[in-house]
Amino acid sequence: MLHLFDTARGAVVPFEPSTPGKVSIYACGPTVYGPPHLGHGRNQVSYDLLRRYLAWSGFEVTFVSNITDIDDKIIERARNEERPWQDITRRCEDVWFQGMDRLGILRPDHTPHATGYVDEMVALIQRLVDRDVAYATSDGVYLDVSQVEGYGLLAHGELDQLRSGARIEANEEKRSPLDFALWKLAKPGEPSWPAPFGDGRPGWHTECVVMSLDLLGEGFDIHAGGNDLQFPHHENERAQAVAEGKRFANLWFHHGMVEIDGEKMSKSLGNVSNLLDLMDAYDPRAFRLLVLRAHYRSPIDVSDDSMRDAEAAIARLDGFARRFAGRVDGVDADPASIERFRTAMDDDLKTPTAVATLFDAVNRANKDDDLEAAAAAFEIAGVLGLELRGEAASVPDEVLARARDRDEARAAKDWAAADQIRDELTAAGWVVEDTADGTTVRPG
RNA sequence: GGCAGCGUGGCCGAGUGGCUUAGGCAAGGGACUGCAAAUCCCUGUACGCGGGUUCGAUUCCCGCCGCUGCCUCCA
C-alpha cells in the first residue's frame, strides 16, 4: 500500500483516497510570465511521477493543474515591454507546454486559468466578506487569518510565532501582517475585473481554492506543490476554504527545491537555470533521471558534472534498450524486480531505490540475456517516465555503405582499412560498434 | 530572531544499531575483441567534529562547526 508524507500531519501516512480506486489531485502550476526554470522542471517531474505511479498502481487519476495568468509580474513585464499582458501569458503558456512535452510530462486532465474563474473568485470573496472574516482596506480586500481555525497547520507554527517572523509591511491598514490580499484594487492602467468591492484583480491565493474545489470538490485527495508554497500560499488557500466552512485537501504533497550554486553554476553552465537551455544542452531524460535519483523531498543540485553523469547513465539504459527492444513482447516481467520496485515506491516514492532496482534489472538482463529481467526494466522505466530508445535511429545510406565497406575490410583482415573507416565515421559523429551481425552505426 | 532540513567513499546519491554494509558516474585490473566499442567479472577509498547511551553507532541522544530552504513573489 502506498504511503506518502503529508505536510499537514508531518509524517508518512497510508494513502487512502476518499473514493476507492480514484484519486483527485490539484497541483499548483506556473505563473506564465517567463520561460520555465530548473525548479519548474523538477516540480513537473515530481507531479508526473506521482501521477504515473498512482495510475500504474491501479488508481484512476484526475489531475488538475492551473495556469496563473493574472499576476503582478505579468503586469510588470507587459508594462516594461509595452505589449498586452495577454500576449505574454499566451506565449509563455505555449512555451511552457512545449518544454514540458520535451521533458515527457503528461498533460493535466484539466488546466484551469485564473482568468477563467474571476466571477467565482469574486463570489467567494463576497461570501467571506459577508461572513465577516474578510475586510476591505483602501487598496483591496484581506482575509483576517486570526479567525481561521488552525491557521499555521502547514507552516507548523503558532499565530504569534508566524507573526513575529513576518517582515514589516508598508500596508498599515492590515490588521495583522499575516492577513493577505483576496482582491487587489486596480491602479490606473492595470487589468481589472468588476467587483462589488471595486474593480480589480484577485490575489494569488484565491484562484487555487476556487478552481480546486470547483473541479475536484470538497475533500479532494492530494494538493501538490513545491515546499516553498507550503507557506504562505497553501496555508492561505486552506485558510479561505476553512473560513468558508469547507473541507479542503486531505493530503499535502510538497517536493524539495533545486539548488544551484550560483557562482559555480553560472561559470560552468552559463544560463541554464532556464530549463529550455538545459534541455538544449543535455538530454532531457538525463534531467529527469537526475531528479529521480534523489528523493522528491530532498534538495537537488544541478551542475554540469551531475548532468553529464546522468547522461552517461541514460546511455547505459539506451544500450540495454537496443539490445532487448522487441524481444520482450508478451514476456512477464520478473516478479521479484517488480516487487522491489513497488516496495520502494510505496514507501513515500523512494525513487533512489526504485532507480537502483531498474539498473539491477538491466544488469541481470545484460548478464544472462534474461528476458524477464529485461521486461521488468522496461516496465519500471515506463512508470518512472524514462523513455528508453531501443529503436535504431535512421542512418544515411552512405554511412551504411561505409559500414559495409568496413565489414568487407574486416573479412579480408585488412585492419588498416577497417580502422580507417571507423575513424572516419567516428569523426563524423557516429558511434561504431562491432557485433555478431557486423558493424553497427548509430548517432553519438 | 523563528521554523524545517542537511553534512556518507574521487563525484552524485541511498541506507542501516552488529549481517555479503544500494545504485549511477569516474578510476584501476581482467574477460571478450585483429584493435576498439558495447557487455560481463573483480578492486579500492565512507559515514563533519566532540561527548554520551550501548556488549557494539555511520545509524539513537546532547553539544559544536559548516551548509541550505522557508518566514517576502517563487516550483
Nucleic strand B near CB of residue A42 (< 7 Å):
yes
Cβ neighbours of residue A224 closer than 8 Å, sequence gap 6 or more: A25, A26, A27, A28, A46, A47, A50, A252, A253, A254, A255
Cβ neighbours of residue A336 closer than 8 Å, sequence gap 6 or more: none
Nucleic strand B near CB of residue A192 (< 7 Å):
no
Strand B neighbours among A 73-132, CB < 7 A: 73
At position A261, the amino acid (one-letter code) is D
3-state DSSP assignment of residue A138: coil
Among residues A333, A323, A70, A328, the alpha carbon closest in space to that of A201 is found at A70
For residue A264, the model assigns a pLDDT of 39
A147 within 8 A of A243, measured Cβ to Cβ: yes
Q: Report the distance from CA of residue A160 to the C1' of nucleotide B53 in Å, as an integer.
A: 37
pLDDT tens for chain A, residues 1 to 444? 888 988 888 888 889 999 999 999 999 999 999 999 888 999 999 999 999 999 999 999 999 999 999 998 899 999 999 999 999 999 999 999 999 999 999 999 999 999 999 999 999 999 999 999 999 999 999 999 989 988 888 887 777 777 766 655 556 688 888 899 999 999 898 999 999 999 999 999 999 999 999 999 999 999 999 888 888 899 999 999 999 999 999 999 998 888 765 343 444 555 568 899 899 989 999 999 999 998 898 888 888 888 888 999 999 999 999 999 999 999 999 999 999 999 999 989 999 999 999 999 999 999 999 999 999 999 999 999 999 998 777 889 999 999 999 999 999 999 999 999 999 999 898 999 998 888 999 887
Strand pairing category for A222-226 and A251-255: parallel
ipTM at complex level: 0.90
CA gap A114, A120 in Å, rounded: 10
CA gap A291, A209 in Å, rounded: 29
For residue A1, the model assigns a pLDDT of 87
* Residue carrying C-alpha cell 511521477: A49
Nucleic strand B near CB of residue A430 (< 7 Å):
no
Nearest nucleotide from residue A293 CA, by C1' atom: B13
Domains of chain A from N-terminus onward: 3-255 (3.40.50.620), 259-383 (1.20.120.640), 397-443 (no CATH)
Nearest nucleotide from residue A410 CA, by C1' atom: B34
Nucleic strand B near CB of residue A324 (< 7 Å):
no
Residues A267-277, buried b or exposed e (16+ Cβ, 10 A)? eebeebbbbbb
For residue A39, the model assigns a pLDDT of 87
Cβ atoms within 10 Å of A181's Cβ, excluding its own: 22
For residue A262, the model assigns a pLDDT of 39
Q: Report the distance from CA of residue A229 to the C1' of nucleotide B74 in Å, as an integer.
A: 8
Q: Report the distance from CA of residue A408 to the C1' of nucleotide B44 in Å, as an integer.
A: 43
Strand B: which positions are within 7 A of a protein CB? 1-6, 11-15, 22-26, 33-41, 68-75
Q: Report the distance from CA of residue A352 to the C1' of nucleotide B13 in Å, as an integer.
A: 8
Nucleic strand B near CB of residue A146 (< 7 Å):
no
